[in-house]
């Protein structure tokens, strides 16, 4: 028997039962498309997160309240309110003798409130920041100015608007010099920022920036910081600066040797590593969930092949009568199930890539810098897994077909 004979027989058998072939393939198509789509969107989302973090700067160091494991996020990053970072910690970091390799450092607090202008009223997020945030985050003032250092301590009622908020609140006029009301407190707009684009976690263009002290005392009623972010003078000095910041805060917080810190110091690179770990776990978990549909498709293949075996008992008997061995019959049915799964895998890959491409056209319209990424591994995995499932779930029907006695098969009506 030639190697191509089982393939030809499998092809004729599948073409003869088009509807059954289509319905069987459909389960594999959906499963493979789901796997491709999940892995593609996961890779694109991961790239978006990395690009947004890198956009702020690769030489940044963040200090967050609360302890954390070496490779895990601090408690504050999980939404737990921790009040261990104070304004005094920020002032100590500003002193050059304490952290010589730190160029600029800013404190941050955040909240949300209704904001009103003569033209609009909307719910928005605001951020209390230090004047140094312009340098730390590479902000660009498009009109007016940012805060002066003395305005942070004097509870100045002034605001700087993100580019989108400026258009929302003052669609027809320049906002500079005009007033907005936040929590019934009037603020004078002194500047607007150039557009920075959406990030995964927030859109800085939608924010309203308030002097740090003003936000703490007048809007939030707190005496602590949500986090601190500083910029090192050089990438090679990141570790030294982090060590100095850690030592400074442990000393200020009176933490003894061997005791756990009540804060976490992380560089941008470390943050990317943590984010990469978290997003990878999520991506592979969702891929595993999507793969369940492949198993369902495999069950469909088994059911279809069992029906085919019952319908082709006479054909099997005839082949055995003219010399076909049991392994020839088994190979024939395994090839049929493999062809079904392989064909479904190819169609599923096309559908998955197509949907991922459509998503890459739609998501940027929402303001996100979304990339069209389809990992080559996802295509290879999708096809190989679909083919393997086809062969695996075709084993029992193929074995059953190979065990049909020739005489009984020829008598079968």
If you count DSSP H runs as helices and E runs as strands, how many of each does the chain have, helices first? 13, 10
Q: What is the pLDDT of residue 161?
A: 95
- Residue from 162, 164, 142, 122 nearest 367 by CA: 164
pLDDT band of 78, cuts 50, 70, 90? low
Lowest mean pLDDT among 64-73, 156-165, 328-337, 398-407: 64-73
Angle value at C-alpha 96, between 92 and 98, nearest 5 degrees: 55
Q: What is the pLDDT of residue 1?
A: 47
Q: Note if the pTM is more than 0.95.
A: no
Q: What is the pLDDT of residue 137?
A: 86
Q: What is the pLDDT of residue 203?
A: 77
Report pLDDT digits (tens) over 282-306: 777 777 776 777 777 777 777 777 7
Q: CA-to-CA distance for 311 and 152, rounded, in angstroms?
A: 83
Q: What is the pLDDT of residue 68?
A: 64
Q: Which of 34-38, 242-246, 402-406 has the highest mean pLDDT?
A: 242-246
Residue for token digits 């969702």?
A: 286
Q: Which of 262-266, 324-328, 369-373 has the highest mean pLDDT?
A: 262-266
Report pLDDT digits (tens) over 204-240: 888 999 999 999 999 999 999 999 999 998 888 888 9
Residue 198 predicted with pLDDT over 70: no
Report residue 188 as tokens. 């004078």
Share of the chain above pLDDT 70, in %: 79
Q: Which of 37-46, 259-268, 289-298, 333-342 has the highest mean pLDDT?
A: 259-268
Q: CA-to-CA distance for 68 and 71, rounded, in angstroms?
A: 8
Report residue 72 as tokens. 């895990």
Residue 158 predicted with pLDDT over 90: yes
């Amino acid at each position: 028997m030639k190697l191509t004979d089982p393939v030809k027989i499998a092809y004729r058998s599948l073409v003869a039962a088009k509807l059954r072939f289509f319905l069987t393939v459909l389960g594999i198509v959906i499963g493979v498309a789901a796997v491709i789509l999940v892995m593609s969107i996961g890779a694109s989302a991961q790239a978006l997160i990395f690009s947004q973090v890198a956009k702020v700067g690769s030489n940044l160091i963040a200090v967050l309240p609360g302890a954390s494991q070496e490779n895990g996020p601090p408690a504050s990053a999980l939404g737990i309110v921790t009040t261990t970072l104070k304004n005094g910690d920020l002032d100590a970091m500003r002193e050059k003798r304490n952290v010589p390799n730190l160029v600029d450092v800013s404190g941050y607090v955040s909240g949300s409130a209704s904001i009103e202008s003569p033209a609009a009223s909307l719910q928005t997020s605001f951020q209390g920041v230090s004047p140094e945030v312009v340098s730390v985050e590479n902000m660009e003032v498009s009109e007016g100015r940012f805060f002066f250092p003395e305005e942070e301590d004097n509870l100045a009622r002034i605001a700087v608007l993100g580019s989108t908020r400026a258009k929302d609140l003052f669609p027809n006029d320049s906002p500079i010099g005009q007033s907005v009301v936040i929590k019934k407190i009037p603020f004078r707009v002194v500047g607007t920022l150039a557009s920075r684009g959406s990030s995964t976690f927030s859109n800085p263009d939608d924010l309203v920036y308030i002097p740090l002290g003003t936000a703490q005392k007048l809007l939030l009623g707190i005496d602590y910081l949500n986090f601190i972010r500083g910029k090192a003078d050089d990438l090679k000095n990141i570790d030294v600066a982090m060590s100095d910041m850690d030592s400074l805060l442990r000393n200020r917080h009176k933490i003894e040797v061997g005791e756990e810190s009540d804060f976490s110091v992380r560089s941008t690179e470390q943050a990317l590593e943590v984010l990469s770990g978290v997003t990878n776990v999520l991506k592979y978990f969702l891929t595993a969930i999507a793969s369940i549909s492949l198993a369902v498709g495999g069950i469909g293949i088994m059911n279809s092949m069992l029906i085919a075996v019952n319908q082709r008992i006479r054909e099997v008997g005839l082949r055995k009568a003219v010399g076909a061995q049991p392994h020839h019959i088994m190979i024939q049915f395994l090839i049929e199930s493999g062809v079904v799964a392989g064909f479904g895998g190819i169609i599923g890959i096309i559908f998955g890539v197509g949907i991922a491409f459509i998503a890459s056209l739609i998501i940027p319209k929402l303001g996100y810098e979304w990339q069209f990424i389809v990992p080559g591994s996802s295509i290879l995995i999708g096809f190989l897994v679909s083919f393997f499932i086809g062969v695996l779930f075709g084993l029992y029907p193929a074995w059953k077909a190979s065990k049909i006695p020739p005489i009984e098969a020829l008598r079968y009506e």
